[in-house]
Structure 1
Amino acid sequence: MTEKPADNDQAPAETIDAVPAAVPATGSSAPGTDTGPLPLGTRASGWLGPTALVLALVAAVLSGWAWYSSNVSGRLELGRELGRAEGINRQLERLVDNQQDMTDSLAALRGQAEDDRRTLEATLAAATTRSQAALGTLAAQQSADREQVQLELATLAASVEDTRRQMGTVQDDWVLEEIAQLLLLANQRLVLVGDVALASRALALADDRLHSLAGPQLLKVRRALKAEQAALAQLPKVDVDGLALTLAALIKQVGELPLKGDEDRPAWQVPADAAALTAVAESPPDAAGNDNSLSQVGRKVLDDLSDLVRVRRVDQTRVPKLTDAQRFLAYENLRLHLLSAQFVLLRRQPALFKENLRQARQWLAHYFEPVNVTGDYDASLAALQNQPLAVTLPDISGSLALLQAEIQRREIAQ
């Protein structure tokens, strides 16, 4: 491929050299000709030479252009092809290098994966060994626990059976203890509070429970219970709830009672304007049918002077009107006596009840106005004070003592 362009370079040089050689050959005959007119054939041969020269020049240019086109363009195309080939060669080299790097990376990754696999297999083997050991230990522990639970269940079953057997023998003792608690409750309510109704109810419940037990030793207890129930039934009925409600109603009416000094309101306390209007309304007209202003003024002056001094006849000493603080204490002290009476009534303390009512009546007579409302209020307090509350309570501890003796006898026998 490198020798052909050298041959093409020599051919155009020979062609260019041939053209000047022809030109002198043509021009060498010109000086030898004559200057006179030439014949027609000679004139025709004179323009053929330049034409041939021009044609030769054109042919030389065309051949040079053809040489340039065939050689220079081919070299350029060959250079471009060689450049493309070198680029492809470099890309191939890079691809080969990349492939080699990838091969090395894959080999390294394969080695690392193999190492990881071996490490994971070793870890799994160790974990499997530990799990199997733990499962074995757990199975042994579960077996031991199962045996322990079975042993405890057997012991518990034996205990339950023993307890059931004991319950069958001591069930009567439990009932007797329950009856003893009922009798103790009845004695406490009757002695401490005086609650006859609750004591009777407790004795009735105890009698019902004794009825379910059989035994000649309990007949004495039932006989004592019947006697105590009859004694409670003969006690007079005192309506404690009704008395307490009556006291509550009286306590609410305390604020309506008039204090001493409230009823004594003189006429001079009436406003002056109201008295003047009344006097003007009641004054008769004069004879001419018109009011005499001078007589009205005189009458009003006389009325005002008469209001300045008021003379009254007092047969006994008047109690001064109480202040607001004194009025409050008067009302609250009366309420306090009545509340105390209500409290001791519910506690079955007749002596304190009557004492509180007596003090309330004294306070009512000393600080409150003796009018009809106060008299009715005092009469209600007196009726409550005369209520018979003192009741002699019977002794109901005999049945409890007999029952406790029977329980002790059974405990000693067991």
Structure 2
Amino acid sequence: MSALTHRPVPRLTAQLRRPPVLIATIALVLLGWQWVETRARLSGLQTEVARRLADGDSVAKESRVLTRQNQEMVAALQAKVSVLEAQLIETQSQQMALETMYQELSRSRDERLLAEVEQTLTIAAQQLQLAGNVEAALIALQGADARLARASQPQWLALRKLITRDMERLKAQPVADISGIAMKLENLIALVDSLPFAFEQRPRPRSPGSEKKSGVAEPAFWQELVADLWAEVRQLVRIERVGRSDPGLLSPSQTFFLRENLKLRLANARLSLLSRDARSFREDMRQSREWLQQYFDTRARPVEHALGTVKALGVVDIAQDLPSLNETLNTVRNFKLRREREISPAPRAAATGATTDGTH
């Protein structure tokens, strides 16, 4: 009886030990499967992160290049604006000096007339040198000539001849239409946003009955057969222009920056036009023409119109060799010096007479 009572105990313990081993095995299998799935997910995440970092690096490089270009353009514009401001300050200082000189002149009529004529001629010379404004210079010269004509004195005839000669030279000078060119540039800047790109062009559809003319008799069977054979042969051979590469695809951000850079080029050309900088004006027109030919659809009518306008403006000579008024100004100044020498001995003689009277 004792042997029978002790035999079932090992079997019971073995049965009790089997479920934990099975549970542990299942748990290990689940953990292994979860580890493999986690590694696969981590690998996919690493690949996605690497791809996005590469895309971000390329976008950052393009942004840096565009930012550098914009900074260079802004620096050039700031330099030109500073030059214009310096010229404006110099003009204002000269005007103040002329006003002070005018106030300090004597009260004689001839000296006042010479001062007014000199100031008018100086303004005309500044208009020619700084702004190239021939019309304003002509108005100033006509005013100076009218002042001398009202004096009705023969001593001013030589000066009037010089002023008349300067007016004739300015009238014979070919003048560029600055306001008209500036208006055309404004229209081009407003037209840039509506210009189609070259990669957006579509082939023009041909209607099936476009080749048939109304009122013409229907061709014979052999004529239709020859026409069909000729059409098939024409499709076998295709002639294309290889001098120009196919237009590249541009992203929306690149198209936006391209349009903005084209606007900036045209605005810079307008500033160069107003400052009579022919070299910068021609360079801006050349760059704008190259961008229009390279990136935009030249078969579209707006692009064709804009390209024709840019080509026409690129050959305009805005830096014309205007005549100077130095000879006339020197003549006026010589008149003033002569008048000062004629007036200066009189006070000295009076002072000398006063001293001799006091001594006697």
- Asked if 1 retains the 8 angstrom alpha-carbon contact of 2:192 and 2:259, the reply is yes
Matches within 5 A, 1:11-410: 170-263=108-201, 319-373=247-301, 374-410=303-339
CA-to-partner distance for each residue in 1:188-209, whole Å, 9 max, x for gaps?
1101221111111110001111
Q: Structure 2 vs 1, CA of residues 176 and 261 (structure 1 numbering), >3 Å: closer, same or farther?
A: same
Structure 1 window deviating more from structure 2 (208-217 vs 243-252): it is 208-217
CA-to-partner distance for each residue in 1:171-216, whole Å, 9 max, x for gaps?
3212211111000011111012211111111100011111122443
Aligned-partner Cα distance in 2 for 1:207–1:384: 36
- Look up the SS of the partner of 2:316 in the other structure: coil
- Asked if 2 retains the 8 angstrom alpha-carbon contact of 1:217 and 1:406, the reply is no
Q: Structure 2 vs 1, CA of residues 368 and 169 (structure 1 numbering), >3 Å: closer, same or farther?
A: closer
Q: Structure 2 vs 1, CA of residues 215 and 361 (structure 1 numbering), >3 Å: closer, same or farther?
A: same
- Asked if 1 retains the 8 angstrom alpha-carbon contact of 2:247 and 2:294, the reply is no
Give the superposition deviation at 1:413: 1.6
Q: Structure 2 vs 1, CA of residues 353 and 169 (structure 1 numbering), >3 Å: closer, same or farther?
A: closer
CA-to-partner distance for each residue in 1:346-404, whole Å, 9 max, x for gaps?
22233322221111011112222332232332112112223343432112221111111
Unpaired segments ≥5 residues, structure 2: 1-104, 204-237, 344-360
- Look up the SS of the partner of 1:398 in the other structure: helix
Give the superposition deviation at 1:320: 4.7
Q: Structure 2 vs 1, CA of residues 229 and 349 (structure 1 numbering), >3 Å: closer, same or farther?
A: same
CA-to-partner distance for each residue in 1:3-56, whole Å, 9 max, x for gaps?
xxxxxxxxxxxxxxxxxxxxxxxxxxxxxxxxxxxxxxxxxxxxxxxxxxxxxx
Give the superposition deviation at 1:217: 3.0
- Look up the SS of the partner of 1:235 in the other structure: coil
Structure 1 window deviating more from structure 2 (199-208 vs 384-393): it is 384-393
- Which TM-score applies when normalising by structure 2? 0.51
Q: Structure 2 vs 1, CA of residues 320 and 169 (structure 1 numbering), >3 Å: closer, same or farther?
A: closer
Aligned-partner Cα distance in 2 for 1:391–1:189: 14
Give the superposition deviation at 1:318: 5.3
Return the letter of the residue paired with 1:393: L
User: Which structure has the bigger radius of gyration?
Assistant: 1
CA-to-partner distance for each residue in 1:95-116, whole Å, 9 max, x for gaps?
xxxxxxxxxxxxxxxxxxxxxx
Q: Structure 2 vs 1, CA of residues 352 and 318 (structure 1 numbering), >3 Å: closer, same or farther?
A: closer
Q: Structure 2 vs 1, CA of residues 170 and 352 (structure 1 numbering), >3 Å: closer, same or farther?
A: same
- Look up the SS of the partner of 1:261 in the other structure: helix
- Asked if 2 retains the 8 angstrom alpha-carbon contact of 1:260 and 1:367, the reply is yes
The answer for the alignment partner of 1:63 in structure 2 is none
- Look up the SS of the partner of 1:389 in the other structure: coil
Q: Structure 2 vs 1, CA of residues 169 and 347 (structure 1 numbering), >3 Å: closer, same or farther?
A: closer
Q: Structure 2 vs 1, CA of residues 320 and 212 (structure 1 numbering), >3 Å: closer, same or farther?
A: closer
- Asked if 2 retains the 8 angstrom alpha-carbon contact of 1:222 and 1:399, the reply is no
- Asked if 1 retains the 8 angstrom alpha-carbon contact of 2:247 and 2:295, the reply is no
Aligned-partner Cα distance in 1 for 2:172–2:296: 43
Aligned-partner Cα distance in 1 for 2:107–2:248: 83
- Asked if 1 retains the 8 angstrom alpha-carbon contact of 2:196 and 2:300, the reply is no
CA-to-partner distance for each residue in 1:229-270, whole Å, 9 max, x for gaps?
1100111132211111111111100001112333369xxxxx
CA-to-partner distance for each residue in 1:66-98, whole Å, 9 max, x for gaps?
xxxxxxxxxxxxxxxxxxxxxxxxxxxxxxxxx
Aligned-partner Cα distance in 1 for 2:106–2:297: 75
The answer for the alignment partner of 2:80 in structure 1 is none
User: What percentage of residue pairs aligned between the two structures are identical?
Assistant: 32
The answer for the alignment partner of 1:43 in structure 2 is none
Aligned-partner Cα distance in 2 for 1:235–1:319: 45
